[in-house]
Amino acid sequence: MSSATQFPARMSVADFLDWCPEDGQVWQLVDGEPVAMAPASTTHARIQAEIARLIGNHLLERGSACDVLMAPGVTPHLERAHNVRVPDIGVSCSPGGDDGSLLTAPVLLIEILSPSNHRETWANVWAYASISSVREILVVSSVSVGAEVLRRRPDGSWPEQAEVVSSGELHLESIDYVTPLMAFYRTTRLNTPR
């Protein structure tokens, strides 16, 4: 085992941030254990880039203080000392921005769902729901046109099931953004007339 892959049995967030190798591999800390993330498919990467571009343009046009970031590290509230999860996209509206290693107050977190990471993605989604600043969580399919939105209720609770969007417009209340769902798929093979 190389020194880059040796780590304590249960890492803290601080240990993880000190250890995390800069070898191009993306790592998460899940309950104290570093977990390497598989490289994204081309379709996944295209969807991720398009969503980040569209949301970034929306925030810029509105003069918003919010920032969109690709693959930011976030710490869920539960087991905070031993977890760093990495959503595909995060939006934060923190005054002065987040300049540290972790996004401290995300309002919107987005995951691109692939068949190979279904279980891990949804485990992350429910971990994100424990972050008090998060207002919405969007999960976008990479194998068909579709998305699921979880939106925090005014009383702070979350619905038991996500709102399914399979066509038409997608509304993200946390950043006051409305777009045709198909816009996310513009650069993929899924962008075909029906």
pTM over 0.85: yes
- One-letter amino acid of 160: E
How many structural domains comprise the chain? 1
Residue 49, domain member (yes or no):
yes
Query: Is residue 106 in some structural domain?
Result: yes
Q: Quick check: is 7 in a domain? A: no
Detail the DSSP E strand segments found in 122-188: 136-141, 147-151, 163-165, 169-172, 177-180
CB 172 within 8 A of CB 26: no
Residues 84 and 29: beta-carbon distance below 8 Å = yes
Structural domain that includes position 52: 40-185
Q: In terms of Cα–Cα distance, which of 119, 138, 134, 130 is closest to 181?
A: 138
Mean pLDDT is lowest, of 1-5, 113-117, 167-171, for: 1-5
Indicate whether 104 belongs to any domain: yes
Residue 194 has pLDDT above 70, yes or no: no
Whether residue 99 lies inside any domain: the answer is yes
5-39 pLDDT tens trace: 555 678 999 888 888 877 778 898 999 998 888 88
**What 3-state DSSP class applies to 112?**
strand
- pLDDT value, residue 23: 76
Q: Are 77 and 105 in contact (CB under 8 A)?
A: no
Give me 18's structure tokens. Answer: 């000190």
How does pLDDT run across 88-147, given as a tens digit for each residue? Answer: 999 999 865 555 778 889 999 999 998 888 889 999 999 999 999 999 999 999 999 999
CATH of the domain at 120: 3.90.1570.10
> Is 34 among the domain residues?
no
Q: Does residue 12 sit within a domain?
A: no
Does some domain include residue 11?
no
- The structure tokens listed for 2 are 């190389």
Q: What is the pLDDT of residues 44-89, one digit of tens each?
A: 999 999 999 999 999 999 999 999 999 999 999 888 889 899 999 9
CB atoms inside a 10 Å sphere around CB 53 = 14
